[in-house]
Amino acid sequence: MEAEAPLDTRTLARIHSALQAVLRTEDWKEGLDSLLACLRADFVYDNVAIYMLDSRTNGVDVNYARAVGRGKHAEADVSWGEGIAEHVLAKNQILIETPQSHDDSPRLELPHLIGLPLQIGGRLGGAMVFVRFAGPLYTEEHIRLASLISLWTASLLERKTLKDARSELESVQRQMRLQDDFVSTISHELRTPLGFIKGYSTSLLRQDTTWDENTQREFLTIIDEETDRLTQLIDNMLESARLQSKTIQFKFQPLRLDALIGDVAQRVQVHEVSLEIKLDFAEIPPIPGDSMRLSQVFENLFVNAIKYAPGSPLRIHLERGRNNVRVAFSDKGPGIPDGYLPFIFERFYRVPGQTITGTGLGLYICKQIILAHHGKIWAESVMGQGATFFIELPLDPLP
């Protein structure tokens, strides 16, 4: 190696602005992109890749690769750095490899490699490798710059690990809070129908009073409806527990989604005579699906729309995408505030501060069913103008 030379002022200025750019970026890959872009004039390379140690499999995964130079390999091809990355990981030190031969070989057969260990959270977590095809040789200053880049990369990765851990912790904490709320919600939800059933059946059984036929019928209807509500609640609880433990068997068959949604709408209309439902369906081919489970999804969306957007007309739009069919289920109710939208599909989650009762299970069940179909479900909403639930289901048979 050459004797240490001081970094010149311009390089220092570029390092300074590079590090500022890194500090400003949330996404670690973007951060690293800007760091590398700022130092491009001082440290020339063709390709760079990061090989992370996978502690479970003991193998390496590539989680960053860029190709910027002349005669470069494709970004997706990172085999050029695997060997040196494994050596760096075994030795935990900076390694430089230069080609043995021959100036007349093709560029891509003359890789000059520099591999640097990445210490993440006090442990060797991966290796960063740069390659220059056909040189030039790395100078002492280049090695120092590469080392500086690798230290910042490690700190970016450490920041990402901490961020992931924090959001996982927050999600577990939220789940625990939701579980606590659920116990009080569920006891209320179980007691209310039970209270009705007990009250009206006790009244009917009273020896000292006689009820005319109409009143008897009215009481029995209430008992009947409340029993249905209780059954539905218990079914939902069991269903969500089974979906969570993945013990439900789905029966996939080709099905016509337009017919299925039409059937559900008809059943809903029997009870909700004044509900305005507009079906706006394009031609779509059959899709692979479990008809019972998918009906459940649309029943849930109807139940929610009736509960949370009472009196609103509903529009269900069905169209074909490139590889999927897409449903948009819209109401014109009060909508869902933006800040709550990401959470409404979580188990037990209910938008806070509302008076309408529920358990927070309906949309969780919908999401699990759609995921089992390799589809997607999400909601969009403009406050005061309503909510739209989107569902995408693949056209092709499932893998």
Q: Which stretch binds ligand ADP (CB under 6 A): 50-58, 149-157, 320-328, 360-368?
A: 360-368
- Establish if 363 lies at the interface with ligand ADP (CB under 6 A): yes
Closest to ligand ADP by CB, 69 or 333: 333
- Orientation angle between helical segments 140-205 and 28-38, nearest 10 degrees: 160
Q: Cα separation of 48 and 67, whole Å?
A: 7
Task: By CB under 6 A, name the one of 32, 277, 344, 391 that touches ligand ADP.
Answer: 344
Nearer to ligand ADP, 68 or 275 (CB): 275
- Minimum distance from residue 239 beta carbon to ligand ADP (Å): 12
Minimum distance of ligand ADP from residue 174's CB (angstroms): 14
Given 372, 387, 391, 393, the residue binding ligand ADP (CB under 6 A): 387
Dihedral sign from CA coordinates of 291, 297, 303, 306: negative
358 part of the interface to ligand ADP, by CB under 6 A: yes
Strand-pair partners of 263? none
Figure out which of the listed residues 93, 179, 203, 354 binds ligand ADP, where binding follows CB under 6 A: 354
**Candidate segments 122-130, 154-162, 198-206, 343-351, binder of ligand ADP by CB under 6 A:** 343-351
From the CB of 340, what's the least distance to ligand ADP, in Å? 7
Residue type, 307: K
Which parts of 201-260 interact with ligand ADP (CB under 6 A)?
none
DSSP string, 117-176: EEEETTEEEEEEEEEEET--PPPHHHHHHHHHHHHHHHHHHHHHHHHHHHHHHHHHHHHH
Q: Which is nearer to ligand ADP, 115 or 362 (by Cβ)?
A: 362
Name the one range near ligand ADP by CB under 6 A: 3-11, 25-33, 194-202, 354-362: 354-362
Least distance (Å) from ligand ADP to the CB of residue 381?
7
Whole-number minimum distance, CB 260 to ligand ADP, in Å?
A: 20
Q: Is 360 in the site for ligand ADP (CB under 6 A)?
A: yes
**Phi, psi at 328, each rounded to 5°:** -120, 120
Question: In three state form, how does the secondary structure of 240-251 look?
Answer: HHHHHCCCCCCC
Give the separation between CA 143 and CA 149, rounded to whole angstroms: 10
One symbol per residue from 312 to 341: x for binding ligand ADP (CB under 6 A), - otherwise; what is it?
-------------------x-x--x-----
Q: Which residues pair with 287 in a beta bridge?
A: 255
Quote the tokens at residue 104: 């007349």
By CB under 6 A, which span of 45-53, 142-150, 215-223, 353-361 interacts with ligand ADP?
353-361
Question: How far is residue 140 from each of residues 96, 337, 351, measured CA to CA in Å?
Answer: 12, 56, 59
Q: Which of 350, 370, 373, 394 binds ligand ADP (CB under 6 A)?
A: 350
Minimum CB separation from ligand ADP for residue 309, in Å? 5
- Given the complex with ligand ADP, which of 126 and 333 has the nearer CB atom? 333
Q: Who's near 91: CB < 8 A, 6+ residues apart?
A: none
DSSP line for 211-274: --HHHHHHHHHHHHHHHHHHHHHHHHHHHHHHHHTT-PPP--EEE-HHHHHHHHHHHHHHH-TT
Is residue 317 a contact partner of residue 277, using CB atoms and an 8 Å limit? Answer: no
Site for ligand ADP in 270-309 (CB under 6 A): 304-305, 308-309
In the complex with ligand ADP, which residue's Cβ is closer, 150 or 304?
Answer: 304
The answer to whether residues 151 and 110 touch, using CB atoms and an 8 Å cutoff, is: no
> Minimum Å distance from CB 363 to ligand ADP?
3
Choices 162-170, 205-213, 277-285, 344-352; region in contact with ligand ADP by CB under 6 A = 344-352
**Neighbour tally for 252: CB within 10 Å:** 15
Shortest Å, Cβ 354 to ligand ADP: 6
Residues that bind ligand ADP (CB under 6 A): 304-305, 308-309, 331, 333, 336, 344, 349-351, 354, 358-364, 387
